[in-house]
Amino acid sequence: MPNPGNPFLALAAPQIAGLTPYVPGKPLSELARELGISSAVKLASNENPLGCGEAAQAAYVDCAAELGRYPDGGAFALRRAIAEHHGVDAAQVTVGNGSNDVLDLVARTFLHPGVESVFSEHAFAVYPLATQAVGATARVAPARDFGHDLAAMAALVSERTRVVWIANPNNPTGTWLAAEPLRAFIAGLPAHALVVVDEAYFEYVTAPDYPDTSRWLADFPNLIVTRTFAKVYGLAALRVGYGLSHPDLAELLNRVRHPFNVNAPAQAAAIAALGDRAHVQRSVAHNRAEMARVTAGLEQLGIGCIPSVCNFVTADLGRPAGPVEQALLREGVICRPVGNYGLPNHLRISIGLAEENTRMLAALERVLTT
Ligand SMILES: *Cc1c(COP(=O)(O)O)cnc(C)c1O
């Protein structure tokens, strides 16, 4: 809890006073502690309800005997596996403690007081946080249909712009950008403006004109693509993500990176997960089927959703979402209100197991009709 009279605030860097901490989804253990509900379902953090694959789990367990050793600080094997997966050079890979860590590395390497970053209204919360934490200025473009308005973003790019943040698709709206407009936007950026394309939900997107921007790296030396093992690969607990970029950019990011930011079991599990395409396919198929059922169920309750290509839907409740979220908690269902994203009437619901989704829909019906 922030303490407004915190005496150390005067000692902190000036930009820290205005910083609002990231609010994560409520953990199941916390609900159990607070409300005594032991069989809750968590649909609040866009986790893979199937968890990780067996190969990743086995690789993790295999590390148990070696926990006394520091991890490979250069993450040699993991970077090589990622490079092979994308057909790039290992020198283009920067590993992170989650992709959030990579976003933070970009901010700490290229942002500082006096320069600016550009992102969209309703965009992922880490962009304003990372920008503000290093004392840079955020320029926020208005959204269009809840998604990124690239023309509005381009209009905010100036000689002070160092980073443009794009979530494709975006969390918490589930909206996405097609290849052609995104490519034209990147091509139009000045050389001093880096562009981060955050593809945390890449594997879930099935739209034919959705781009794999890792294929554009050779064309755009100012492009940084980020991916994560936290979503479709089901390794959220281990915190592994990565950035792909021109090797000269990666070299600077790696100067700032803590050498052991990705621990040894995480490196091993991530390598195994990359090789387990069957688990990715299973997870994507599950998501597609349940997404259809959840959106249909919400529609039956008279609730519309922002069309989403991710593993979550953001529903317009037509009334403040906070009280609905609280009532759902008492029903043992954890969802995510997104008022802090400028969407006070929306509730973000992750796609869970079939029985979890059924329970969420039933709880929501009870909550909305009583
Ligand atoms: C979940 C998410 C991430 C990934 O965060 P990790 O640090 O890898 O867990 C990155 N960007 C967006 C938009 C996300 O929703």
Which amino acid residue places its CA nearest to atom 10 of ligand 1?
Answer: 200
Q: Give the count of beta carbons closer than 10 Å to the beta carbon of residue 35.
A: 13
**Tokens representing 341?**
């994203």
Instruction: Tell how strand 343-350 and strand 116-120 pair up.
Output: unpaired
Closest CA to 360 of 343, 344, 347: 347
Statement to judge: residues 118 and 197 lie in one domain: yes
CATH number at residue 64: 3.40.640.10
What's the total number of domains in the chain? 2
Q: How far apart are the CA of 200 and the centre of ligand 1, in A?
A: 5
Which amino acid residue places its CA nearest to atom 14 of ligand 1?
Answer: 200
Domain span including residue 40: 9-51+278-369
Statement to judge: residues 97 and 241 lie in one domain: yes
* Residues paired with residue 42 on neighbouring β-strands, in sequence order: 334
- Asked if residue 3 belongs to a domain, the reply is no
The H or E element containing residue 363 is: helix 354-369
Statement to judge: residues 103 and 241 lie in one domain: yes
Phi and psi at residue 302, in whole multiples of 5°?
Answer: 80, 20
Distances 88 to 95, 342, 359 between C-alpha atoms, Å: 14, 38, 44
Q: Which of 52, 104, 201, 231 to mutate to test the pocket of ligand 1 (most atoms within 8 A of CB)?
A: 231
Instruction: Give dist(CA 83, CA 77) in Å, integer.
Output: 10
Q: How far apart are the CA of 228 and the centre of ligand 1, in A?
A: 7
Single-letter amino acid code for the residue at 219? D
CATH number at residue 342: 3.90.1150.10
- Asked if residue 349 belongs to a domain, the reply is yes
Single-letter amino acid code for the residue at 174? G
Statement to judge: residues 363 and 262 lie in one domain: no
Statement to judge: residues 196 and 272 lie in one domain: yes
What's the first-to-final CA gap in the chain, in angstroms? 32
Q: How far apart are the CA of 370 and the centre of ligand 1, in A?
A: 35
Per-residue pLDDT of the chain (370 residues; tens, 9 = 90+): 778 789 999 999 988 888 888 878 888 888 888 888 888 999 999 999 999 999 999 999 999 999 999 999 999 999 999 999 999 999 999 999 999 999 999 999 999 999 999 999 999 999 999 999 999 999 999 999 999 999 999 999 999 999 999 999 999 999 999 999 999 999 999 999 999 999 999 999 999 999 999 999 999 999 999 999 999 999 999 999 999 999 999 999 999 999 999 999 999 999 999 999 999 999 999 999 999 999 999 999 999 999 999 999 999 999 999 999 999 999 999 999 999 999 999 999 999 999 999 999 999 999 999 8
Ligand 1 contact via 49 beta carbon (within 6 Å): no
Statement to judge: residues 80 and 212 lie in one domain: yes
Could you tell me how many residues make up the chain? Answer: 370
Statement to judge: residues 231 and 250 lie in one domain: yes
Statement to judge: residues 31 and 70 lie in one domain: no
- Asked if residue 182 belongs to a domain, the reply is yes
By the 8 A CB rule, do 18 and 132 touch? yes
Instruction: Give dist(CA 78, CA 85) in Å, integer.
Output: 10
Which amino acid residue places its CA nearest to atom 2 of ligand 1?
Answer: 200
Flag whether the pTM goes above 0.75: yes
Predicted local distance difference test score (pLDDT) of residue 34: 83
**Tokens representing 250?**
């990666």
Instruction: Give dist(CA 346, CA 332) in Å, integer.
Output: 19
Closest CA to 161 of 115, 211, 109: 115
Which residues lie closer than 8 Å to 359 by C-beta, 6 or more apart?
41, 332, 333
Place of tokens 């940084």: 224
Structural domain ending residue among the three candidates 276, 308, 334: 276
Structural domain ending residue among the three candidates 219, 242, 276: 276
Statement to judge: residues 234 and 330 lie in one domain: no
Instruction: Give dist(CA 26, CA 28) in Å, integer.
Output: 7
Structural domain ending residue among the three candidates 276, 307, 328: 276
By the 8 A CB rule, do 143 and 120 touch? yes
- Asked if residue 2 belongs to a domain, the reply is no
DSSP 232: T
| DSSP notation for 33-84 | HHH--SS-EE-SS---TT-S-HHHHHHHHHTGGGTTSPP-TT-HHHHHHHHH
Statement to judge: residues 75 and 99 lie in one domain: yes
The H or E element containing residue 164 is: strand 161-167
Q: C-alpha dihedral over 322, 326, 328, 333, to 10 degrees?
A: 100
- Asked if residue 4 belongs to a domain, the reply is no
